[in-house]
Amino acid sequence: MLFKQVGDSDYVEDDLDGISGLPDGLTLFRKNLDEPLADICRLLGPIQFLATVGLAAKTWMLFSMIFLLLMSE
């Protein structure tokens, strides 16, 4: 058997996966982002969605590097 059956006693609402140990607010934030991100992925298509997420991460990293350079001067 590959799947573990989860009973009501094993489920903790504030820790969805049971191992992350995320604070309540962060777990709720993650839970609230799940549906809108899935909707955006359906609208754009998975390839365009992942390309957009990758571009956003690259842009954020570049901005962060520029900011650190400016602050070190």
> Mean pLDDT across the stretch 44-60?
90
Question: For the segment 16-47, what is each residue's pLDDT rounded down to a tens digit?
Answer: 556 666 666 777 787 788 888 889 889 999 89
Lookup: tokens for 66: 């520029």
Q: Are 61 and 53 in contact (CB under 8 A)?
A: no
Q: What is the pTM of this model?
A: 0.48
List the domain boundaries for the chain.
23-72
Measured distance between the N- and C-terminal CA atoms of the chain, rounded to whole angstroms: 59
pLDDT of the residue at 37: 87
